[in-house]
Structure 1
Amino acid sequence: MTKGKKSIGRQRIEIKELDDRGKQQVTFSKRRTGLFKKASELCVLCGAEVAVFVFSQKKNMYSFGHPNVETILERYLDGKTVSDSSSLSQELVSVDEFNRQYDQLQKELEKEKMHLAEIEEMNKKMKNTNFGFWWDEPLDENMGLEEMEQYMKALQEVRRKVGARIEELRIMPRTSLMQPMNMPMGLGNDFVNVNSWESNACGGFVCWNNM
């Protein structure tokens, strides 16, 4: 029976400075991200308030803080304890209120966007169903000079016809009074022609001659 290869198990990796500058930059970026992640988890799990500062070899500073770096740093420099930080609690309440108002405004904004979309959709339907006037429609930007001239002539022709029709309607009431008119006299087929009126008076009444 063959024996399997023995494992040497987990070995402790020696921590030492890397010689390669490229590897140093990559490692710094990875470890910095991991450090900030661990600090964030500590804040979430334990309710801790943490501030972390990291400087690279190029003297670039990177920081992480909860609730923010400035508050933690001021408390450290002033020597304030947690019980003395009533202003911090007020700031946290203000932040929570701000977040609540922001969420509310976001919801109202979404409602307004939906309302605007409904109005635009309604306007499209009105145009598709020929509501409104055709002259309110925008001109086609692709129309050439010849097409524009034809369009203008068509508008002028429409204007001429409308003007002629208006004149007809204005003249019609006057001409209708001047035309002969047959009026019924009782039942049957007896009619009176207005042109057959006589000018003589019979006891103060106009005499009618039946045709």
Structure 2
Amino acid sequence: MEQKNSTGLQNIPLAKLDNEDTRYSSFSKRSSGLYKNASELVRECDVDLGIAISSSTGEQLVVVEARNKVCQYDDMIKEFDIIEKITNKKIRLSDQINEGWWESIDRFSIDDTMRFEAWLTFGEFTKS
């Protein structure tokens, strides 16, 4: 049987870090990991979750409602998806326009031009 080159997964005893910079860095990394895990739990299990963390100096108290943040981010993603769909639709319409409509634009009346501009801007084409 071959011997392993590495020691593998080991249990590291928890102890207070003496170096203040290392301690602060570790605190930041671990707290962001907690937020990430909490967000996944909220998203997958549809639960309410709160996290309270205070720094080693006791100066800051951070309270996070992960469900609200996840819902806010989901709402933002939905808004961006809607904007993307509208933009893609306008691009497709613009591509259709570029296929031959521009040759006849010089024959538009002022009313036709205004309706065409409104259609380009708002996606509405009103008949008078």
Question: So what's the TM-score if we normalise by structure 2?
Answer: 0.49
Question: So what's the TM-score if we normalise by structure 1?
Answer: 0.33
Task: Give the greater-gyration-radius structure (CA).
Answer: 1
User: Which structure exhibits the higher relative contact order, with contacts defined as CA atoms closer than 8 Å and separated by 6 or more residues?
Assistant: 2
